[in-house]
Structure 1
């Protein structure tokens, strides 16, 4: 059965935000005299706000974790307002799919208002028929809720959707929803588990052949940088 809709993750897949937020965590921790390893921040990639809070609370205690998170988000929000860079090939892929009439949606663990601001400031909000965020569901990734709701809003059965994700949490969420998924890892390499659930490619341009196969479409050749 061919697919007919595509659901995208946002951070680390379309928007090159993971490096920005990692720098914010680092800088805020240093400013607050906290000696924390990068492995902590990397373990939070793809994790929703509640999961990050639980992780930090367990490590630092609620008061210090709250202070760290508040200041990090303040710094990050200032950068978001200026617009974050897109991942290589993101705009071109979105434009090609949009021009072919493929229904597109976002399924992100980011909260509603912030997700929409990120998409708007990055100039890609107009491509999506629906944006589903962690504000819309009870359980964020790796639960399937975000993807199931995105498929429902697109009015396309999950089995006829394709997802693109950068993290294991996202791959697990899409697979649990019964959606075919391609992983494009960002800062954290693909795990054995995610490789068992999805084909893994190094960049969005390299995801095009699999998308063409599953969607039964022909995409334009990506332009060389």
Structure 2
């Protein structure tokens, strides 16, 4: 596989830099169980990469929950207050972000999460947040009109670097199939670090698939290599 040299890097947050998908699963499972319904992996897999309100709608529809979207999100929100402050970074996340920042590679975050949600999840990882040139938070960003798999979030995020890189000069890191599709649609290369339960067939359009961020070799894409 031939990789193209890139100059700028865009990171997804949930499930990629942060081990937060397990917390969303816990919250969704708890709320659904309250109404005698089971939140399954199949349903979970169909939600990865979507904005919060889209997830709420899909879960209510799929499980026929007696709740409005707002009620569901409110119940989950109360659980997030307890769960989010303890969220851990994924293996290799800190090393990679710190390395690219130190080497002067422009990096930004492109997450479907809302600002309030990002603030909650990152309250114990503020030092990492400060290394990104900017954060594009899909659920609360007026310019991001559609969630992934639409390419809007990556195109908006890339356009906010001062030197306005071309899409093909950007490398995206993602964990979700919808995120891979969004990067493909944006004409950007994408490194996928997926949940191991995701079917390999769904990952075929990723430029590179890794088990962990720890396995990434920046020099494959013309970025400065890690110092041994």
Q: TM-score range by the shorter chain?
A: 0.7 to 0.9
Output the TM-score relative to the length of structure 1.
0.88
1:156-206 deviation line (CA, Å, top 9, x unaligned): 221111110001100111111111110001254254242233211100011
Q: Structure 2 length as normaliser, TM-score?
A: 0.87
Point out 4+ residue stretches in structure 1 off by more than 3 angstroms.
60-63, 65-69
Aligned pair count? Answer: 218
Asked if 2 retains the 8 angstrom alpha-carbon contact of 1:107 and 1:133, the reply is: yes
Q: Find out whether 1:96 has 2:103 as its counterpart.
A: no
Gaps of 5+ in 1: none
The question of 1:184 aligning with 2:193 is answered: yes
Among 15, 19, 22, which residue is 1:16 paired with? 19
Change (3 A) 1:108 1:187: farther
Quote the offset at 1:102 in angstroms.
0.7
- 8 A contact 1:6–1:103 mirrored in 2: yes
Greater mean deviation of Cα atoms: 44-53 or 104-113 = 44-53
Query: Hey, what does 2:177 align to over in structure 1?
Result: 168
Please say if 1:130 is aligned against 2:139.
no
Match among 78, 85, 88 for residue 88 of structure 2:
85
2:223 equivalent to 1:219 = no
Q: CA RMSD in A?
A: 2.0
Residue 216 of structure 1 and its aligned partner are, at CA, apart by 3.6
The alpha-carbon distance between structure 1 residues 77 and 98, as it changes in their structure 2 partners (threshold 3 A), is: same
The structure where helix makes up a greater share of residues is 1
User: Gaps spanning 5+ residues in structure 2: where?
Assistant: none
